[in-house]
């Protein structure tokens, strides 16, 4: 099982070009330095609610291509970033904009995920070109 995760690390997943797996090593580059806002799913292999959220999260990654990047980080394999951000439960989603965490969703309901993302984006990001 562990080999499976390491093999996928840092690669585009499931044919989705807007969903990346990130690690402690590339988190700053992939998330904090992104020119687009990034939502990160802090997840774990053993977490049933994470598995319930995953297909919805993956589908939404295609919906927001070009507007919002989607990333996934396994907290068991990447404890440094998770600890730095105070992740205490999974799934936790954090929206980053301009390198800073601006919204946090702990245990989001899969059926309301799009609404939660829309709300977080509306409150915490500006359209491209506005300062």
CATH class of 2-120: alpha beta
What is the domain partition of the chain in residue ranges?
A: 2-120
Q: Is 50 a catalytic residue?
A: yes
- What would the two tokens of residue 91 be? 């799934």
pLDDT at residue number 26: 98
pLDDT at residue number 4: 35
pLDDT at residue number 63: 94
pLDDT at residue number 6: 37
Q: How far are the Cα atoms of 129, 130, 131 from residue 40, in angstroms, in the given order?
A: 24, 24, 24
pTM: 0.85
| Catalytic residue (one of 31, 39, 40, 50) | 50
| Catalytic residue (one of 40, 47, 81, 105) | 47
- Cα three-residue angle 73-75-79, rounded to 5 degrees: 115
Q: Is 47 a catalytic residue?
A: yes
Taking the C-alpha atoms of residue 56 and residue 89, their distance in angstroms, rounded to an integer, is 19
Q: In tens digits, what is the pLDDT along the chain, a chain of 131 residues? A: 333 333 343 444 444 589 999 999 999 999 999 999 999 999 999 999 999 999 999 999 999 999 999 999 999 999 999 999 999 999 999 999 999 999 999 998 999 999 999 999 999 986 544 44
């Amino acid at each position: 099982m562990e080999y499976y995760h390491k093999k996928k690390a840092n690669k585009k997943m499931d044919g989705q070009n807007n969903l990346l797996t990130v690690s402690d090593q590339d988190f700053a580059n992939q998330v904090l330095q992104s020119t687009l806002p990034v939502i990160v799913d802090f997840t774990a292999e053993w977490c049933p609610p994470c598995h319930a959220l995953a297909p919805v999260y993956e589908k939404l990654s295609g919906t927001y291509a070009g507007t919002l990047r989607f990333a996934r980080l396994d907290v068991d394999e990447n404890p440094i970033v998770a600890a730095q951000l105070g992740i205490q439960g999974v799934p936790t989603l954090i929206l980053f904009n301009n390198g800073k965490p601006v919204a946090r969703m702990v245990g989001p309901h899969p059926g309301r995920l799009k609404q939660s993302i829309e709300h977080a984006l509306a409150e915490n990001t500006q359209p491209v070109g506005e300062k």
